[in-house]
């Protein structure tokens, strides 16, 4: 998790840009937490863009982003630019929540982003930038949830065909009256 899910530093911002409810550790962070609990997160200070890095730890088959925002209004103030491993994901931030509105959003990353994450050592690099937006938004936290890619499991048809092949092999083996061949009959020396 980037940020701390503490309700915007324990106090909802009002419409005054620049309200800072960050704790000292958040303000000093370099993982994206420095942009949370600050109304005007994509304006200077602290910055008009920031990157968050999530180390996923294993290949993923599905991944979603969850975040809590305050005052997100892309229709009113313009879109926020967002990329995940260099791929545009601005749609995950295309909400018109309204002024003074707290909202939690969730959205799945595309297959192209999943492939890029898996190709980059299972790391998600999410960059948000103000671009042309004039929205003085606040973020409380960002988190990712997903499913790890699993090893291939044989499908039932493959298992059934393997079983039939085994039966055919066993039926084709020579047998004696007792059903067992002796070592001599198999041509083995004792």
Residue 53, domain member (yes or no): yes
Residue 17, domain member (yes or no): yes
Residue 161, domain member (yes or no): no
Residue 160, domain member (yes or no): no
Report how far residue 48's alpha carbon sits from residue 41's, in angstroms, rounded to the nearest whole number.
7
CATH number of the CATH domain containing 76: 2.60.120
Report how far residue 54's alpha carbon sits from residue 132's, in angstroms, rounded to the nearest whole number.
26
User: By residue range, what is the domain housing residue 117?
Assistant: 2-148
How does residue 174 score in pLDDT terms, banded at 50, 70 and 90? low
pLDDT digits (tens, 9 = 90+) for 56-84: 999 999 999 999 998 899 999 999 999 99
Residue 181, domain member (yes or no): no
Residue 83, domain member (yes or no): yes
Residue 185, domain member (yes or no): no
Please report the pLDDT score of residue 121 as a whole number.
Answer: 94
Asked whether 132 and 48 are in contact (CB, 8 A), the reply is no
Residue 57, domain member (yes or no): yes
Number of domains in the chain: 1
């Amino acid at each position: 998790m980037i940020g701390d899910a503490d309700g915007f530093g324990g106090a909802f911002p009002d419409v005054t840009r620049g309200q800072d409810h960050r704790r000292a550790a958040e303000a000093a962070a370099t993982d994206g937490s420095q942009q949370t609990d600050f109304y005007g997160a994509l304006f200077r200070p602290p910055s008009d863009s920031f990157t968050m890095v999530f180390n996923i730890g294993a290949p993923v088959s599905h991944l979603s982003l969850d975040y809590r925002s305050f005052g997100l209004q892309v229709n009113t103030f313009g879109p926020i630019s967002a990329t995940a491993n260099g791929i545009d994901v601005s749609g995950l931030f295309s909400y018109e929540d309204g002024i003074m509105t707290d909202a939690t959003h969730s959205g799945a990353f595309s297959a192209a982003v999943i492939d890029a994450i898996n190709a980059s050592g299972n790391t998600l690099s999410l960059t948000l930038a103000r671009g042309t937006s004039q929205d003085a938004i606040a973020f409380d936290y960002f988190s990712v949830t997903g499913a790890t890619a699993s090893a291939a499991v044989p499908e039932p048809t493959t298992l059934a065909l393997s079983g039939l092949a085994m039966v055919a092999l066993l039926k084709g083996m020579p047998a004696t009256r007792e059903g067992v061949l002796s070592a001599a009959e198999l041509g083995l020396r004792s």
